[in-house]
Amino acid sequence: MLKYLFANEEDIPQGSTALFFAFSSIAWFIIGTGLGSFNAAKLAFPDFYHNVYWLQFGHMRQVHVHAVIFGWIAMAFAASMMYITPTLGNTKLWSEKLGVWNCLLYNVGLCLALALLWSGMTSGREYSDHIWPIDLYIAFVMVVPWALNVWMTVLNRRTQGIYTTNWFFAACMFMTIIVFLIGNLPEFFHLTGLNEAYMTWWFAHNILGLLITPVAAAITYYIIPKITGNPLYSHRVGHLHFWSIVVFYSTPAAHHLMSSPLPEWLKSFASVEGVLILVPAIAYVSNILLTMQGKWSMFIENIEVKFTITGVFLAIPLNMQGGFQQTRAINWYIHGTGWIVAHAHLALLGFSTFAEAAAVYYGIQVLLRRKLYSSSLANFHFWMLLIGFSLYWVSMTIAGLIQGAAKIYEVPYIDVVIAEHPYMIVRWLGGTMVFLGNIVWMFNMYMTATAGDHVPEGRQPAEVAYTR
Amino acid sequence: MGWTFSHPLYSLTTEDQNKEAQYVWEHENLGGIAENNNPLPRPVIGLLLLTYITAMAITFPLYGQRPTAAIFADYVTLMNSAEVQKVLHDKKLSHEAADEKAMALIEKTLQHFDSPYNFQRQQHHITMNQLRMIAPKIVELQRSGADLEEYTIVGPTVAKANFFNIQPDGTVIAKQPWWDKGYTIAVWWFLVFCAAVIITVKRLPHFTWQPDHSIAH
Amino acid sequence: MAFREYKIGCMMFGVALSTSMFVTIFLPGLDISAIGSTEEALKKQLTYGWESGFNYYDPFLAGKDKPIKVTLTHDPVTGKKIDKVDAYVFKPGTHFPNGLTHENIMGKKVLALSNSRGHINQASEENGGVFLVDVDAASGTPYVEFATATKGWSVDATLKAADQQFLAGSGKTMFIREGCWWCHTLLPEETQDWQTFGRPPVTGDFNGESPTTFGSDRKAPDLLHVGSRNSSREWMTMHFFNPRLVQPHSIMPRYNYLWGKTDAKGNVIDRQKWDREFMAYNNGETAYPPEVPEPAPDSDARKLIDFVLNLK
């Protein structure tokens, strides 16, 4: 990677940026889920490694969150964008050199940001925990060059029209920058009080709603038609999805604070918009599933389709939960409980991780023109992820329902802790399975890069048979 | 890059294609927003309508998850009645037993009267000790002619909570009607969305998957 | 550069995103900013000072640049007995909370009263000073009183006359740095919570506080009113050193490292030895658990305990 930093643009092989981002993202996925598994162990067994200051739960919890969001999810997005955007535009990436620098500075910045968080230097705001100098670094050094590459590639495309995926990519990068700069205003300008609390959640909601969910969906808009060979069921339904994301997903930030003394009208508004998040969800899920017509056998046979469609299936409970759990009628019961933790993992570890993993699997094969090293290891990875995630999700949902019941029946809190203990252990087991699965994945991808069979020019990796 | 600001952008779509798109846009009546003005599949339309109706129905702004002073007003009246006071001062019973018996008596009496608060009473059980703490405050509020529904029982205190935009100094900026500001904005938000998305999606330029090699970059 | 054909789309996108931000940021911002401070908000501001998260004056979150909350039963100037009162001491150079330095934080009425009767306009960060929170009996409006101007209470005299000093402002920094708020919320919910965790806050309770650290993922009891439920410093000390001492089923981490190297008497704390003795107690080999060292007056543990006890 380093040798390309000062190379001429023409000398850098196409796809280098995407590859570097892809391998970085897998590495961060291992780190992030490892931290998650460690944290979960601490919740199950509080005296696990207790005398080491650096391994305190309160210092590590946010490092897990940011390693996974900014390391795995965002970098897998970057990897996908760096090869999907040019492909769909029938052109080259605008600047591989900028991309390589972007990837390097992204990794360096993320290490720095996580080290500072780990040491306790935090703004004290959930999801925008980073201190404001780091926020500025993330916005201008990590995200703006990435966005620039995407935008310029879209502008320099050689196709008529812009395919839904690129429409999403370009707009989501724009919205991410806006959300980052507006959402961190409380830190830049020292806003205080309820304004600060609300802006914190405005940021948290929109970084999930305007970056993670739509980009993950956009990736599946590419992967499914590309691998199955079916054209997307409807480009225009894709646009309905896009517009309803912009209009309905950017508004319900206040539903994260339904039990705080925010103005009641704001909660009402957020609540209605929160349910209307189902509009993009329905448009999206039906579009993808209708695209699969006649190709459902690939859901079994093809690892990328298997990952993607599993992600799309997980988007159904995700959006059903997300739409309804924020209404006053349900939120009072489950707010602040493990249910929400389960929901957050359904969004990030369920839906979007499965979609991105497919894009990374596919990207590495296409860019290196090498067939995946082992389908057995890939299937092992798939099942470790799916079973690990399911254990996590089910156990935390149950724990959340226990907590909710205890909340309304005024059970002494320590009894909740005791009742939750078995589910905390299951959560740890689930998280550990995901972590172990990812190590296998890294091995599989490394072997693909070094020992995978060559895919002939003009052929899809899916058209080449596995040899092992 | 060659980006000049007087003519910043050019189109890959030909004039014919634009005309065709415009023709389709202008010569349809109530067509759908899918390709070639085909409507969406009916099940999808059904789901979307269901979503909208559900969103409106489930978020209908009904407040009342917290107990208001009003639902306990009758408890207080009954507590101060002679029969209940007799039970409470019964020397033969222990303190706890007297409380329980008195509360059972109150609840039994209340069952004979129809009240709009029946459901809320089931939701918010109250013990005699709690009732004793809030009773004088409720009586005082009743004397001052306050609307008990605006007051919320918060532990031992009877406070005006913030469900109706009540300011710290006690002034009510807006006692919310059944529709509130946020709900109204939401209705308009959805209508404008529908209009805007139909215009935007239908005005999309010509799209084809075929690559265009007419312009070299 | 083929974006012209998407002109309508781009315009609609701009309109949608800016309307969305107008409705969800600007409009609520107006409503929230129009709310005057409650007494609670004034107390919080004066206790926690300027900013408790990362900031220029305390980049490593060591609890610097914070006021000290004291309780007084004697007038610092005359020495006469007075009703017990909480005073907030800002040593010279300590930064004031936003409410004292910005006109739009406290609310119009509160600010007017704080200026006319509390003389807060005479206070300056260079000289520091002592503040009180009062409530106007007639209107019920709370206001801040600059006691250095109105009563002549100086910083040194007030600290000297204090019965008790709470480092609650520095403690909030610890609360944030150590991630206590990942499990303990500071927001009893408006629905059922108040019966267990106390009165939920009202809109004016947060003016000038930053960050508010509501917390979202409650794995432990809400702490907004914990000082009212449990005011025992001994219990808190044991609980922070090893929660399993007072609550065998607790899953809270140990915060024994906040004690630093030495305890209040200057003895070196041997955590390994303490651990061994605790394990012996845990296994039933000894009847009593080992003594928990008393935290040094400037230790992080003391600050955090002060913060928690101050959450009334």
Q: Is residue A461 part of a domain?
A: no
CA-nearest residue of chain B to C22?
B185
- Whether C183 and C105 map to the same domain: the answer is no
Judged by CB atoms closer than 8 Å, whether chains meet at C15 and B169 is answered as no
Q: Is residue A467 part of a domain?
A: no
A153-170: buried (b, 16+ CB within 10 Å) or exposed (e) per residue? Answer: bbbbbbbbbbbbbbbbbb
Q: Is residue C23 part of a domain?
A: no
Q: What are phi and psi of A454, to 5 degrees?
A: -75, 135
What are the E-state strand segments in C163-242? 164-166
Q: Is residue C286 part of a domain?
A: yes
Q: Which of A13-27, A50-64, B129-143, B192-206 has the lowest mean pLDDT?
A: B192-206
Q: Where are the alpha helices (DSSP H) in A45-95?
A: 57-66, 74-89
**Residue C107, SS3?**
coil
Question: If pLDDT is split at 50, 70 and 90, which confidence band does A253 have?
Answer: very high
Judged by CB atoms closer than 8 Å, whether chains meet at A263 and C32 is answered as yes
Judged by CB atoms closer than 8 Å, whether chains meet at C190 and B161 is answered as yes
- Whether C139 and C109 map to the same domain: the answer is yes
Distance CA A22, CA A148 (A): 19
**What angle is formed at CA A353 by the lines to CA A352 and CA A357, rounded to 5 degrees?**
120
Q: Is residue C29 part of a domain?
A: no
Specify the DSSP class assigned to residue B65.
S
CB of B199 within 8 Å of any CB in chain C? yes
Which among B154, B159, B167 has the least Cβ separation from residue C36? Answer: B167
Residues of C in contact with B13 (CB under 8 A): 2, 5
pLDDT in tens, C37-89: 999 999 999 999 999 999 999 999 999 999 999 999 999 999 999 999 999 99
CB of B203 within 8 Å of any CB in chain C? yes
Q: What are phi and psi of A100, to 5 degrees?
A: -65, -45
Judged by CB atoms closer than 8 Å, whether chains meet at A250 and C192 is answered as no
Pick from A427, A441, A442: nearest CA to A390: A427
Cα Rg, chain C, nearest whole Å: 23
CB-count exposure of residue A16 (10 Å: 0-12, 13-18, 19+): buried
CA-nearest residue of chain A to C10?
A171
Q: Is residue C25 part of a domain?
A: no
The pLDDT value given to residue B147:
82
**In 10 A of CB A31, how many CB atoms?**
20
- Whether C133 and C233 map to the same domain: the answer is no
| A–C CB contacts, 8 A cutoff, strictly below | 227
Q: How many domains does chain C have?
A: 2
Question: If pLDDT is split at 50, 70 and 90, which confidence band does B37 have?
Answer: low
- Helix or strand holding residue A175 (H, E): helix A164-183
ipTM of the complex as predicted? 0.94
Q: Is residue A290 part of a domain?
A: yes
Is the pLDDT assigned to residue C171 strictly greater than 60? yes
Among C169, C188, C212, the domain boundary falls at C169
Angle (deg, nearest 10), helices A193-207 and A164-183: 160
Judged by CB atoms closer than 8 Å, whether chains meet at B13 and C12 is answered as no
CB-count exposure of residue A392 (10 Å: 0-12, 13-18, 19+): buried
Judged by CB atoms closer than 8 Å, whether chains meet at C36 and B168 is answered as yes
Q: Where are the alpha helices (DSSP H) in chain B?
A: 15-26, 42-58, 70-79, 82-88, 95-111, 118-123, 128-143, 181-202
Range of the domain at C69: 39-169
Judged by CB atoms closer than 8 Å, whether chains meet at B11 and C139 is answered as no
The pLDDT value given to residue B27:
67
Judged by CB atoms closer than 8 Å, whether chains meet at B3 and C1 is answered as yes
Among C122, C139, C169, the domain boundary falls at C169
Pick from B174, A250, B62: nearest CA to C23: A250
CATH of the domain at C248: 1.10.760.10
**Residue A391, SS3?**
helix
Q: What is the mean pLDDT of chain A?
A: 93
- Whether C209 and C269 map to the same domain: the answer is yes
Q: Where are the alpha helices (DSSP H) in C39-192?
A: 39-48, 98-101, 108-116, 147-150, 155-161, 168-177
Q: Is residue A465 part of a domain?
A: no
Question: If pLDDT is split at 50, 70 and 90, which confidence band does C121 have?
Answer: very high
CB-count exposure of residue A23 (10 Å: 0-12, 13-18, 19+): buried
Q: Is residue C217 part of a domain?
A: yes
Judged by CB atoms closer than 8 Å, whether chains meet at A254 and C24 is answered as yes
Range of the domain at A124: 2-453
Q: Is residue C46 part of a domain?
A: yes
CA-nearest residue of chain A to C215?
A126
CB-count exposure of residue A235 (10 Å: 0-12, 13-18, 19+): buried
Domain ranges of chain B: 31-61+176-205, 70-164
Q: What is the pTM of this model?
A: 0.87
Min Cα–Cα distance to chain C from A344, Å: 11
Could you tell me the sign of the dihedral formed by the alpha carbons of A38, A43, A49, A50, in that order? positive
Judged by CB atoms closer than 8 Å, whether chains meet at B66 and C2 is answered as no
Interface of C with A in 25-64 (CB under 8 A): 25, 27-29, 31-33, 35, 41, 50-54, 59-61
Say how many CA atoms lie within 13 Å of A399 toward its Cβ.
29
Which among C25, C181, C220 has the least Cβ separation from residue A413? Answer: C220
Q: Is residue C304 part of a domain?
A: yes
Pick from C148, C144, C172, C173: nearest CA to C158: C148
Say how many CA atoms lie within 13 Å of A354 toward its Cβ.
28
- Whether C262 and C305 map to the same domain: the answer is yes
pLDDT in tens, A131-155: 999 999 999 999 999 999 999 999 8
Q: Is residue A119 part of a domain?
A: yes
Distance CA B185, CA A137 (A): 37
Pick from A150, A154, A4, A148: nearest CA to A77: A150
Residues of B in contact with A93 (CB under 8 A): none
Q: Which residues pair with C129 in a beta bridge?
A: C90
Pair C1, B3: CB distance under 8 Å = yes
Distance CA C259, CA C296 (A): 7
The pLDDT value given to residue B155:
66
Average pLDDT of B150-174? 63
pLDDT in tens, A205-215: 999 999 999 99
Min Cα–Cα distance to chain B from A260, Å: 10
Residues of B in contact with C192 (CB under 8 A): 65
Average pLDDT of A289-297? 93
- Whether C182 and C97 map to the same domain: the answer is no
Question: If pLDDT is split at 50, 70 and 90, which confidence band does C4 have?
Answer: low
- Whether C142 and C181 map to the same domain: the answer is no
Q: What percent of chain B has pLDDT over 90?
A: 11
Which of B11, B209, B214 should one mutate to test binding to chain A, selecting the residue with the greatest count of A CBs within 10 A? B209
Which among C1, C6, C140 has the least Cβ separation from residue B10? Answer: C1
Interface of C with A in 246-305 (CB under 8 A): 247, 249-254, 256-257, 271-272, 275
Q: Is residue A427 part of a domain?
A: yes
Q: Is residue C31 part of a domain?
A: no
Q: How many domains does chain A have?
A: 1
Q: Which residues pair with B198 in a beta bridge?
A: none
CB of C207 within 8 Å of any CB in chain B? no
